[in-house]
A and B are shown apart, each in its own frame.
Chain A
Amino acid sequence: MLKQEAIDLLAKHRNGAISVTTMQAAAPWHLAGQTSSLHCEASLCMGSAASLGLGIALGAPKHKVMILDGDGSLLMQLGSLVTVAGQKAANYYHFVFANGYYESSGNQRLPGTGVFDFPALAKAAGYAGAFSFERAADLNTELPAIFKRTGPIFVELKIARDDATPRWALVPMAQMVRKLKSELAP
């Protein structure tokens, strides 16, 4: 599927969840109108979306928290899978856009592309469930059930290579931090 198709479906099924984005998921999520509330971005700290989202999930257990991560980003802090699973955050939904490329730096190949298996890694780390989707139609069908499951849940989104110029969100992270804190803990 295309990244934009996945973004549109995640937005469609968000249903009030807090969102955390990073790297090349950030701008499309912003352009989809999903960042005006209950949102934060892990800006310029590749790999930190999972842990940022975990802190939010643990601190706000009544909210569902969806993390929009990238494959290269997650590889940079892969141990986060173990930390997330160890905390057993029931409200944690980890979506990873996976096409095997470092999009932000010009589509260089990731190490181990075609060899490693993200859902298997997540399951082995202790996630309560792990899924992979290649077709938008399947993702659209399954997302409501996925959000009803007890987390932490891992969802690999197999997307096509994107040769568009990398885009960056325009809102400084400090501004997003202040906004989300004002919404969750004024």
Chain B
Amino acid sequence: MITSGPVAISIAGHVIADAIVELGVTHVISVPDTNLRTVLALLEARPVPQVMYVCTEDEAMGINAGLYMTGHKPMLLIQNNGLYACLNTLKAIPLDAEVPTFMLIGQFARDVNQRPEESPKRAVNRLEPTLTTWGVPFVRIEGPADVPKIREAWDVAWTTNGPSAAIVGAPTH
């Protein structure tokens, strides 16, 4: 089914950046996502959280765990393809080792006029099924009204000692 009009609405980058700051995040570990580039630029301009770019999402999960064990409050900012790239580490560290791992994930290459499950692109339509398969709770951030759900997903990671995700559906501006 093709819906009329946008399903996902662009959110101002500063709204998401502010939400991240309000969580008390100390480090944003990222393999950058095109859709969230305005969020990254705004976070980079602030002293806290520290934005740390890494080579792979596997590394991001390892560093996240190390920072967690030393009393910090890190998170990941990645894209849908990045989640697929690090499934073995997702299994081993956030899940098996029970490390709070909050992931803000951009739906790279999504047509905002389609629901994710309607997208012909596997990068988009396989994200939620992949998270579900691995038992990773997630929320959809489809527009400004959904921004409070970022805290809900963050809290899930920290109360369950495991992974959680907030999926941002449209490119931020």
Which residue numbers of A lie inside 8 Å of B, CB to CB?
A: 40, 42-60, 77, 79-80, 82-83, 87, 172-174, 176-178, 180-181, 184-185
* Interchain CB contact under 8 A, B69 and A43: no
Contact A177:B67 (CB < 8 A) given known A44-B92, A77-B59: no
* Interchain CB contact under 8 A, A59 and B67: yes
Interface residue count on the B side (C-beta < 8 Å): 29
- Report the minimum CB–CB distance from B153 to chain A (whole Å): 21
Contact residues of B: prevailing secondary structure? helix
B69: chain A residues at CB < 8 Å are 40, 55-56, 59, 177, 180-181, 184-185
* Interchain CB contact under 8 A, B88 and A53: no
A60: chain B residues at CB < 8 Å are 70
A176: chain B residues at CB < 8 Å are 97
* Interchain CB contact under 8 A, B92 and A43: yes
Closest residue of chain B to A44 (Cβ to Cβ) is: B92
The 3 lowest CB-CB distance pairs between A and B, nearest first, are A55-B66, A59-B70, A185-B71
B91: chain A residues at CB < 8 Å are 44-45
Closest residue of chain B to A20 (Cβ to Cβ) is: B66
Interface segment out of the listed B9-17, B36-44, B49-57, B141-149: B49-57
* Interchain CB contact under 8 A, B58 and A83: no
* Interchain CB contact under 8 A, A54 and B66: yes
- Report the minimum CB–CB distance from B86 to chain A (whole Å): 9
- CB within 8 A of B59: which of A40, A43, A83, A181? A83
Chain B contacts with A in 50-96, Cβ cutoff 8 A: 52, 54-56, 58-72, 74, 88-89, 91-93, 96
- Is B111 an interface residue when CB atoms closer than 8 A count as contact? no
Provide the bound-state CA to CA distance between A13 and B88, in Å. 33
A77: chain B residues at CB < 8 Å are 55-56, 58-59
Could you list some 23 contacts between A and B, CB below 8 A? Answer: A43-B97, A46-B88, A51-B66, A52-B93, A54-B63, A55-B66, A55-B70, A56-B66, A56-B69, A58-B66, A60-B70, A77-B56, A79-B56, A79-B59, A80-B55, A80-B59, A82-B55, A83-B55, A177-B69, A177-B97, A181-B70, A181-B71, A184-B70
- Is B98 an interface residue when CB atoms closer than 8 A count as contact? yes
